[in-house]
Amino acid sequence: MIKGLDHIGVAVKDLDASLRLWQDILGLEASEVETLEEEGLKIAHLQLPGGVSLELVAPLSSRSVIAKFIAKKGEGLHHLCFEVEDIQRLGKELEQKGKSFLPGYPRHGSRQTIIAFLHPQAWSGVLVEVMEKKEK
């Protein structure tokens, strides 16, 4: 069902400042910045050795879910993302076990993916993202 940990999401106020920090101090290589207007987000990935990346997520406006998250909890760890084989099948399996994706998911994510989120209340306080790569 789960193929592995794909990335760790980190909520940041200022994407450029955070990118400079992680790149300059730790020497990580960053992807292109992606703007997801519909989600109100800007995203960049920093690749770590071993295949996992850090996903820096910054709000485009104060109405963004990330702006609300930062206002409430401050910058920091936001979510874990697991790569899965078949996101539709996972959705059905979750429902059979009394769990579900957040409303409105699955939908298209960044980097040619289909994503869904699981509510942190159901998962030990952790916001879990699941992702299926469209190009295999």
- Give the nearest distance from C-beta 22 to Zn ion in angstroms: 16
Tell me the number of residues near Zn ion by CB under 5 A: 4
Shorter beta-carbon distance to Zn ion: residue 24 or 37: 37
- Residue 132 is a binding residue for Zn ion (CB under 5 A): no
CB of 115 to Zn ion, least distance (A): 7
- In this structure, the number of other CB atoms found within 10 A of the CB of residue 123 comes to 12
Q: Pick from 40, 56, 91, 129 the residue near Zn ion by CB under 5 A.
A: 129
Q: In this chain, which stretch among 14-22, 45-53, 90-98, 123-131 interacts with Zn ion, using CB under 5 A?
A: 123-131
Q: Which is nearer to Zn ion, 10 or 91 (CB)?
A: 10
Residue whose entry in the numeric block shows the structure tokens 């980097």: 111
User: Does residue 55 interact with Zn ion by CB under 5 A?
Assistant: yes
Contacts 24+ apart (CB under 8 A), 20-29: 22/46, 22/54, 22/56, 28/54
State yes or no: residue 81 binds Zn ion (CB under 5 A).
yes
Does position 6 interact with Zn ion (CB under 5 A)? The reply is no
Among the residues of the chain, which ranges form H helices?
A: 15-26, 65-73, 87-96
Distance CA(49)–CA(10), nearest Å, equals: 18
Q: How many helices (H) and strands (E) does the chain have?
A: 3, 9
Of 46 and 81, the one with the shorter C-beta distance to Zn ion is 81
> How far does CA 24 lie from the centroid of its chain?
23
Q: Is 106 in the site for Zn ion (CB under 5 A)?
A: no
Interacting residues toward Zn ion by CB under 5 A: 9, 55, 81, 129
